């Protein structure tokens, strides 16, 4: 999109209007006036965007608001009706610790809900056509010229990761071979990297880019729920020692509601935290665990190739590694149809694709790739390694 890269068509248009050569200062200014739309406005997945694309969520957010209301109301009642009594009778540290936990829970919840979970951009029409051609060639070779019977095209590819063969499935919606561990979320209609699951409680997919915040959310929420439950019970016991049990309940009716909410939610929250702690320690996703991808039942030589073989390294990889940048550049501007040089990567031939559309998405891709390389410079990441393998596999 450099001003000099106008191409022959633009030059031709200008030469008809005036004999002045288009100055490089003029043309980008003109372009900006026409193209004020951002990429999130034409995003193909089923997502909601707020704040001009800064916030990204799933389309259905009803259960997320329920989560918010439950946390806000229960914590609000605790701070309003239990904390004043407990601070005087026991220690003022109770509202302080509760407050810190509450803000941590809200911060990690909003970070999980409002961010890009690791959506993979869909293929441009050119890329899709090229891939179709490759698949077609592979099919021809497989069938041979003599055999007349029709076979479905091979829509899977295999890569070897740490000695384990991993199948890459073709996504008919996104028109890509999904990288290892990626999966298509049917609710959001996106392929998500290191897809864990779609969580309606946080109103977003949980994937590569927000998994650690999701884990910190459920872990801190476990602590907050146990904390509130324990001190609400303490509050009721202290009051009933003074005035009797029934009077204590009458004096602090909010405590009853808090205790009920905490009692019914604590089991599932603590259970979920334990389950994800197990997943993190063995470097698995919920998706892989449910499918039993690395289960011994599938064969003795079946093992999880992503595990580092050490619980501490697995935890560090999931919780402390660099966060890869978003690949969808949702706040970038849509570029108007500027003729672009053919993609230099693998000599893709042009098919009858809408020029403006393909340029728009290619812009995203190039941005994403650039960002990916940037991520690589930050530290060793698994994704770059695996992507390299996929590109190598696709070249075959
Ligand atoms: Zn997909
Ligand atoms: Zn989803």
**For the segment 113-160, what is each residue's pLDDT rounded down to a tens digit?**
999 999 999 998 888 899 888 887 776 776 665 455 555 556 888 888
Give the lowest-confidence range in 88-102, 129-143, 157-171: 129-143
Q: Which protein residues have their CB within 5 A of the ion that is ligand 1?
A: 171, 173-174, 184, 191
Residue 6 in any domain: the answer is no
Q: Phi, psi at residue 309, to the nearest 5°?
A: 80, 10
- Which candidate in 174, 185, 188, 199 is catalytic? 199
Residue 104 in any domain: the answer is yes
pLDDT of 46: 93
Q: What is the DSSP string of 19-39?
A: SSPPPTTHHHHHHHHH---BG
pLDDT of 350: 33
Q: Would residue 199 show up in a list of annotated catalytic residues for this protein?
A: yes
Query: How many Å lie between the centroid of ligand 1 and the Cα of residue 107?
Result: 29
pLDDT, tens only, 33-42:
555 789 899 9
pLDDT, tens only, 245-263:
999 988 888 999 999 999 9
Residues in contact with 393: Cβ distance below 8 Å, sequence separation at least 6, in sequence order = 157, 158, 159, 168, 177
Ligand number with the minimum distance to the CA of 59: 2
Rounded to 10 degrees, the C-alpha dihedral 194/195/197/198 comes to 130
The number of CA neighbours under 13 Å toward the Cβ of 130 is 16
Residue 147 in any domain: the answer is no
Residue 371 in any domain: the answer is yes
Residue 184 has pLDDT above 90, yes or no: yes
Q: Are the beta carbons of 283 and 162 closer than 8 angstroms?
A: no
Element (H, E) at 293: none
Residue 217 in any domain: the answer is yes
pLDDT, tens only, 7-49:
444 444 443 443 444 444 444 454 445 557 898 999 999 999 9
- What average pLDDT score do residues 369-375 get? 35
Ligand number with the minimum distance to the CA of 172: 1
Of residues 93, 179, 175, 178, the one with CA closest to residue 129? 175
pLDDT of 144: 60
Query: How many Å lie between the centroid of ligand 2 and the Cα of residue 304?
Result: 24
Ligand number with the minimum distance to the CA of 174: 1
* Range(s) of the domain holding residue 319: 44-127+181-336+343-395
Tokens in use for 245? 């049990």
Q: Are the beta carbons of 252 and 81 closer than 8 angstroms?
A: yes
| pLDDT tier at 294, thresholds 50, 70, 90 | confident
Residue 73 in any domain: the answer is yes
Residue 204 in any domain: the answer is yes
Give me the number of domains the chain comprises.
1
Query: How many Å lie between the centroid of ligand 1 and the Cα of residue 7?
Result: 34
Query: How many Å lie between the centroid of ligand 1 and the Cα of residue 184?
Result: 4
Residues in contact with 350: Cβ distance below 8 Å, sequence separation at least 6, in sequence order = 126, 342
pLDDT, tens only, 339-356:
433 333 333 333 333 333
Query: How many Å lie between the centroid of ligand 2 and the Cα of residue 230?
Result: 35
Query: How many Å lie between the centroid of ligand 2 and the Cα of residue 12?
Result: 46
Residue 157 in any domain: the answer is no
103-107 LR contacts (CB < 8 Å, sep 24+): 104/216, 104/220, 105/71, 105/217, 105/220, 105/221, 105/224, 106/71
Of residues 316, 250, 310, 335, the one with CA closest to residue 30? 335
């Amino acid at each position: 999109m450099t001003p000099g890269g106008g191409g022959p068509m633009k030059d031709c248009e200008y030469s008809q209007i005036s004999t002045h050569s288009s100055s490089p200062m003029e043309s980008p200014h003109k372009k900006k006036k026409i193209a004020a739309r951002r990429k999130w406005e034409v995003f193909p997945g089923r997502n909601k965007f707020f704040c001009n694309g800064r916030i990204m969520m799933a389309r259905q957010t009803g259960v997320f608001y329920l989560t918010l209301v439950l946390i806000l109301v229960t914590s609000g009642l605790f701070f309003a009706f239990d904390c004043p009594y407990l601070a005087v009778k026991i220690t003022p540290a109770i509202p302080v610790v509760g407050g810190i936990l509450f803000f941590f829970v809200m911060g990690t919840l909003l970070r999980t809900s409002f961010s890009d979970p690791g959506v993979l951009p869909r293929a441009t029409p050119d890329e899709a056509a090229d891939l179709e051609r490759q698949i077609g060639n592979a099919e021809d070779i497989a069938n041979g010229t003599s055999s007349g019977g029709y076979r479905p095209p091979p829509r899977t590819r295999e890569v070897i990761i740490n000695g384990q063969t991993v199948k890459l499935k073709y996504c008919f919606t996104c028109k890509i071979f999904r990288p290892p561990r990626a999966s298509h979320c049917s609710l959001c209609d996106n392929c998500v990297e290191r897809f864990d699951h779609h969580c309606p409680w946080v109103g977003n997919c949980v994937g590569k880019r927000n998994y650690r915040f999701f884990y910190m959310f459920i872990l801190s929420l476990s602590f907050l729920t146990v904390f509130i439950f324990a001190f609400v019970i303490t509050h009721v016991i202290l009051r009933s020692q003074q005035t009797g049990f029934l009077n204590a309940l009458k004096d602090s009716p909010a405590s009853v509601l808090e205790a009920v909410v905490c009692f019914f939610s604590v089991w599932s929250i603590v259970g979920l935290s334990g389950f994800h702690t197990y997943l993190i320690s063995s470097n698995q996703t919920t998706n892989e665990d449910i499918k039993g991808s690395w289960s011994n039942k599938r064969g003795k030589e079946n093992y999880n190739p992503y595990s580092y073989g050490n619980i501490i390294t697995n935890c560090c990889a999931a919780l402390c590694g660099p966060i890869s940048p978003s690949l969808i550049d949702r706040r970038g501007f849509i570029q108007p149809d500027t003729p672009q040089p053919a993609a230099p990567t693998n000599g893709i031939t042009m098919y009858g694709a809408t020029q403006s559309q393909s340029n728009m998405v290619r812009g995203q891709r190039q941005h994403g790739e650039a960002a990916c390389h940037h991520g690589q410079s930050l530290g060793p990441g698994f994704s770059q390694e695996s992507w390299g393998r996929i590109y190598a596999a696709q070249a075959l």
